A and B are shown apart, each in its own frame.
Chain A
Amino acid sequence: MDFIANFPLFTIIFSLFSGVLCFLLKGKAAKRYTFVYEILLICMVAAVLCYTLQNGGEFTYSMGEFSAPWGNEIRAGVLEGVIALLFMVVMFCSISAGHRFIDTDIDESKINLYYAELNLMTAALMSLVWTNDIFSGYVFVEILTLTSCGILIVRELGRTTLAAVRYMILNLLGSGLFLLGVVLLYTMTGHLLMVPMQETIAELVKDPGVYPTMTMAVGILTIGLSIKSGLFPFHYWMPDTYGWATPASASILSSLVSKAYIFLLFKIYYRAIGISVFEQMPIRNILLVLGICGIIAGSVSAIRANNINRMVAFSSAAQIGYIYMGIGLGGVVGYSAAMFHIIVHAITKSQLFLTTPCLAEVSGDSLLFRELQGSGRRNRDAGVFFTISALSMIGIPVFAGFSSKLQFGLAALGQGDIKLILVMLALAVSSMLNAVYFIRTVIRIYTEDPRKSERTRHRPDYIIPMLVLTACNLFLGLFSWVTVDLIRTGLSMFG
């Protein structure tokens, strides 16, 4: 076995050790170390992606050389590689662009703890992407929950603590249900590894009487992970959680953490249950309907918000709805649209969350719309980056948001009449609603304002990650077929 085959495991193990190391280092040293380490991780994940593309598209890594059905496994394929690369790039950009705010928002003695949490979170994110064992999935889901709570409460305000408690309570409900689902599947199949579990389920479903029980187990597991990722009607924790966290945390929580849960859920559907068995269950239609409800409810709440961060957070709820809508539509086109939207949303939303604090900074540290008037003129860079991602969110051609809406439209065309009409209506209405609140904000930040202040200049550690995110955004918008083809290649070997 080639040395590169060890890299997925390394991304997990090294991150765990880095967490401990950052705990021991001083704040500044921990920050520098995390910077360098994130770049190393990006290289490692990119190497894994290239390796899988060259060597047949996938490989399985058995830990401790215990082969299936025993032991624990890591599976790296094209789809996992793409998602892991996305996670690492966005993570790096969030830390690089947000570290200035981390220094001001967090007590100096606790900065190293923040980076320790980030490294532990990286380990959890990586293992949720790579794992081939649903119980390891559960353990790292819990680690992800704890670390995301950690990066939320480091900013010691009353509201962040309250938001963290509410976030944790919902997450605990989700974890409990997810664990019950995992246990039910285990007692039915006797396996925890995804591949043997899928084989056993394929045997079991030959008796149609097993479907109700199976649907119940998968349903419980789905409810658990959809609570954690914020699917309608469980999205109301989002504005408080994202609105008061430090910008880097808000960016990571909204663009990576909720996506990792969705990716795990998708992986379980595809690899542990078997996609043909899953498509026989009514769960898919429920996800479609809840996704559409989420799109509308999130957008309407975003219009009513009076604070820019709350607006962006509610728009996250709508975007999560899109992803579930893609899974609900089904078929290769639907699933690849959902995966593509995970990428698009992670890139766009992290950029939005990293620009709003800069706009607020030149507006008397206020996130309220009326104070933000003219902030795009006072801080031009942030204004431009905000506008680009806002246009992408609406779905203007050239930008990434357009490509993903196009993919959803294509996925709907292959469906029956009712689904086609529902999805097309949802896409039309939500694009209109998105335009209402994003265009309104863009106009507001460029409206002339009597307040004059010196033009803010950003350091390269802010500009470069922002340019990277913008470049990714344009690449996904102009050359969407490259990524979509990669995702489809990954999906074809996923089952």
Chain B
Amino acid sequence: MLEHLLINNEEAVAIILFGIGFTMLLFQQNLIKKLIGMNIMDSGIFLFLASMGYIEGRKAPIIADSVQDTAAYINPVPAGLVLTGIVVSVSVTAVMLSLSIRLYKRYHTLDLDEIYQLSRHQMEDR
């Protein structure tokens, strides 16, 4: 069991990171901390993908010295997926940050519990 973890240490770290991020996103009450959690969670997945895509001893998938054999190169798809994932994660973070700013301007706090309490007292909408 432990041997497997040692051999796949990158994947193990990736899953631990995912767990840390997931619990932060779920249980932290501070919005900024939640967002940091989300980014850690996504980084965990990207690390997992990147480490799975890399094969020791092979080269970047760019044909050089006219070596056509696919066994000489690593698979480029995981890197593409990581890039796409990063773009998605950045845009989601931007939207969430702008929402946090809007909430902060209105309630002057970033703590979700407090905001929830405050909003219950305000029966502004119907």
Contacts and interface: CB of A to CB of B under 8 A. Distances in A.
Contacts of B77: 192
Given A146-B91, A173-B25, A158 B124 contact: yes
Interface of A: 135, 138-139, 142, 145-146, 149, 153, 157-159, 161-162, 164-166, 168-169, 172-173, 175-177, 179-180, 183, 186-187, 192, 244, 360, 365-368
Interface in B53-84: 77-78, 81, 84
21 contacts: A142-B88, A142-B91, A142-B92, A149-B99, A153-B99, A153-B102, A157-B124, A161-B99, A162-B115, A162-B119, A168-B99, A172-B92, A175-B92, A176-B18, A176-B22, A176-B25, A177-B22, A183-B48, A183-B52, A186-B78, A192-B77
Nearest to B11: A187
Given A162-B115, A169-B34, 8 more contacts: A149-B99, A157-B124, A158-B107, A158-B119, A159-B125, A176-B22, A177-B22, A183-B52
B75 to A, nearest CB: 8
Interface string B114-126: 0110010010111
Interface residues of B, number: 38
Contacts, number: 91
Given A142-B88, A162-B116, A365-B126, A176 B102 contact: no
B26 A165 contact: no
Q: Which 10 A-B pairs have the closest CB atoms?
A: A187-B52, A142-B88, A176-B41, A157-B125, A158-B106, A161-B102, A172-B38, A162-B119, A165-B99, A183-B49
Contacts of A367: 126
A149 B49 CA distance: 28
B12 interface: no
Contacts of B112: 165-166
Contact of A139 (B21, B42, B88, B122): B88
B-side binding surface: helix, strand, loop or mixed? helix
A180 B18 contact: yes
A149 B95 contact: yes
Contacts of B88: 138-139, 142
Nearest to B26: A173
B81 to A, nearest CB: 6
Given A142-B88, A142-B92, A158-B122, A165 B38 contact: no
A183 B45 contact: yes
B25 A169 contact: yes
A365 B112 CA distance: 28
Contacts of A145: 92
Nearest to B82: A183
B23 to A, nearest CB: 10
Contacts of A153: 99, 102
A177 B38 CA distance: 11
Given A176-B25, A180-B18, A244 B45 contact: no
Nearest to A368: B126
Given A165-B100, A183-B49, A366-B126, A139 B91 contact: no
Contacts of B95: 146, 149, 168
